[in-house]
Amino acid sequence: MPAGPAAARERPAASDATGGALLGACAAWALITAGVHGGSPEGVLLAVLAVAAGYAGGRISGALLPVAAPCAGALAGLGLAVAAPRLTLGPSSPLGHTGATAALLILSAGAACCAAWAARTPVARLVLRLLAAGIAGAAAALGSPVGCAGSVVVLLCSLAAARLRGRTLGLAGLAVASVLITGVSLAVADDALPGGVTAPVESGLGRHRVLLWQDALVLAEREPAMGVGPGRFGEVSPVAAEYLLADGKPHSAPLQQASEQGFVGVGLLAAVFGWLLYALWRSPGSTQVVLSAGAALTALTAVAAVGNALSVTTVTTGAGLLAGIATARPLHEEPPGAVRPVSPSSP
């Protein structure tokens, strides 16, 4: 029987069970907090269902069509971003309203990079990487600088993965980056950044968004265990009530969880992201595919930390789909855990 990390990656049942338990816990906690404080848990339940359905669909399509599935996903995400650049209403910012467009484009670039590494010919890889670069250009044309920057970062991380033969260090770096980005958003809400840093950050994000974050932090401190109830931020937030165009959300996934579902909700959100990274680590796919998907999901957490992207079903579905594709075992591939050798002359 195989032993070591490679053997662990041959048995995905444990990580799948863990993911199912965590998603179930997210749904159950939303129902519990809604029962205690009232509110509407439907949004959380829909997001949980979207992630689960996307992940299952990605596992199936990634096993059957390891190149075509992520390529189709990249084109679908790009098409959605172009056809509906304003997926939801909300305060404008450099993220583009809620960051949903940026998130879709980043996930699309990640899918294109995964397809490139799954392709077997240099020409196909080059074409798919040009698709990822084209997605970054489309983001700039759509007026989403964060989507453009995120897509470029994902492409660069995917290319850098060619030099790696192990995924542990790369995934650990992505986890640290996600923690740092989330920490910065919390520091802004708590007004804990140095004065010279706070002003440009607030200028970039918008003063109103920062006020929403501060209000969310106050609510989280008032009800640290269970929050004020899912979907109730807009009802109890004085800042949201004063702003006629507000959509009732603080536009930060961690702060929304903290204010509406307490720190237990934040812990569950962090645990789901940790599970996705763990599932990628155990994936039987190549290290390059795993790190490309991981880079896109980490960039998504950055957008979600300062925007409202996770409230959009297409984004949560796309995240689950990308993770499922990257953790699938292609039917006609090399043995599990093998890392495909990369020729220095390959594009």
What percent of the chain shows pLDDT beyond 90?
61
Residue 178 in this model has a pLDDT that exceeds 80 = yes
The mean pLDDT value for 211-238 works out to 89
Tell me which range, 77-86, 131-140, 191-200, is most confidently predicted by mean pLDDT: 131-140
pLDDT digits (tens, 9 = 90+) for 75-132: 999 999 888 755 544 444 443 444 889 999 999 999 999 999 999 999 999 999 999 9
pLDDT at 89: 42
Q: Which of 154, 104, 149, 148 is nearest to 129 (CA)?
A: 154
Residue 164 in this model has a pLDDT that exceeds 90 = no
**Does the predicted model carry a pTM greater than 0.85?**
yes
Q: Which of 155, 166, 160, 149 is nearest to 132 (CA)?
A: 155
What is the C-alpha to C-alpha distance for residues 107 and 111, in angstroms, rounded to an integer?
Answer: 6
DSSP assignment string, 3-48: -SHHHHHT-THHHHHHHHHHHHHHHHHHHHHHHHH---THHHHHHH
Report the range of poorest mean pLDDT among 60-69, 297-306, 338-347: 338-347
**Radius of gyration in angstroms for the set of CA atoms belonging to the chain, rounded to a whole number:** 20
Residue 12 in this model has a pLDDT that exceeds 70 = no
The mean pLDDT value for 272-278 works out to 95
